[in-house]
Amino acid sequence: MELTTIWFLLVAVLFTGYFILEGFDFGVGMLLPVLGRDDRERRVLINTIGPVWDGNEVWLITAGGAMFAAFPEWYATLFSGFYLPLLLILLALIARGVAFEYRHKRPEASWKRRWDAAIFWGSLLPAILWGVAFANILRGVPLDADHEYVGGLLDLLHPYALLGGVTTAALFLTHGAVFIALKTTGEVRDRAGALAVKLGLVAAVAAVAFLTWTLNIRSSAAAVVLAIGAALALLGGLAAARARREGWAFTGTAVAIALAVATLFAALFPNVLPSTLDAAGTLTATNAASTPYTLKIMTWVAVVFTPIVLAYQGWTYWVFRKRIGVVNIPQH
């Protein structure tokens, strides 16, 4: 297997891990005003992701770094053409991170409401915009023969991209509700479990529509198999959520997100950013890649450090594996 293919797969794995882990973070943030009926319940929700949310974002940083080093042409074209959506994602993530840290600094209800709003919008915007971005990556964007983006913002907001945004938001909401049910006790757990099933039905309809449309744009045998697997995993997760088997439900939604992202990358390969104007402008895993020597050095670095990072993050989840409830939150 060529190094360009290996690094395309590694970038796909990094984004898959990011969407699985940050997906439930986004879901919890979006559900904060829905499931948190008072301050103690909202603190319960925030504490379910408190020890892990920042570590989950490392996957995005690593994915971006891998793109920059392995596929600099892809990175440059993507981050210049998608500048405004990616800037909005960055600002939303910053606002959400600050909110997590500052919400508890003062006891006033108005102070906490403002930061709760920042958590909500800082979760909703990325959840939608990531779907819009990846839909455009797969469908293609206007690139000239020099691989320069020559479109505008409205070129990124077509119906397929908007459906992609709705799909990722619905999937992350479902994933987050299942995660809350898995990590909490009492009434919060009951409400989250019931809501997960309802949200999951919406997510299933949106995901089937989006993946079907995707396979009509670009497809491969592997992409078809992965899309079917994603649908089955989501249905299995919803069945488990209905039976209050939260562990299996979370596994189902996580696998569904993983296979859905894998579907997009499988349908995209060997391209990394197709051009809708001229085939000569299409970026592929070959013409967008770094030199073989760079890829070789990066491969050895990844082999050494990736297991260490995975082991550390796995240990973090193991340490904070227990459920939390209102009884664990002191009154102020």
How many distinct structural domains can be found in the chain? 1
Residue 224 lies in a domain: no
Residue 220 lies in a domain: no
CB 273 within 8 A of CB 141: yes
Which domain does 266 fall in, by range?
3-175+262-321
pLDDT digits (tens, 9 = 90+) for 22-77: 999 999 999 999 998 888 899 999 999 988 888 899 899 999 999 999 999 999 99
Q: Does 150 or 177 have the greater pLDDT score? A: 177
Dist CA 251 CA 169 (whole Å): 18
Residue 53 lies in a domain: yes
CB 67 within 8 A of CB 74: yes
Dist CA 227 CA 211 (whole Å): 7
pLDDT digits (tens, 9 = 90+) for 178-204: 999 999 998 999 999 999 999 999 999
Q: How confident is the model at residue 331 (pLDDT cuts 50, 70, 90)?
A: confident
Quick one: tokens of 226? 């992965």
Dist CA 196 CA 173 (whole Å): 8
String of DSSP letters for 257-275: HHHHHHHHHHHHTTEEE-B
Mean pLDDT of the chain: 92
Alpha-helical regions (H) of the chain: 3-35, 39-49, 53-70, 72-81, 83-102, 109-139, 159-183, 186-217, 221-242, 246-268, 292-319
Q: Does 309 or 64 have the greater pLDDT score? A: 64
Most confident stretch, 171-175, 301-305, 320-324:
171-175
Residue 40 lies in a domain: yes
Q: What letter would DSSP give residue 105? A: G
CB 73 within 8 A of CB 287: yes
Task: Write down the pTM of the prediction.
Answer: 0.93
Q: Which of 103, 20, 8 is nearest to 55 (CA)?
A: 20
3-state class (DSSP) for residue 1: coil
Q: How confident is the model at residue 322 (pLDDT cuts 50, 70, 90)?
A: confident
- Residue carrying structure tokens 């997510």: 203
Q: Which of 261, 99, 242, 60 is nearest to 172 (CA)?
A: 261
Residue 209 lies in a domain: no
What pLDDT was estimated at residue 97? 93
Q: Which of 140, 9, 133, 149 is nearest to 71 (CA)?
A: 9
Residue 266 lies in a domain: yes
Residue 54 lies in a domain: yes
3-state class (DSSP) for residue 143: strand
pLDDT digits (tens, 9 = 90+) for 204-226: 999 999 999 999 999 889 999 99
Dist CA 89 CA 80 (whole Å): 14
Q: What percent of the chain has pLDDT over 70?
A: 100
Residue 231 lies in a domain: no
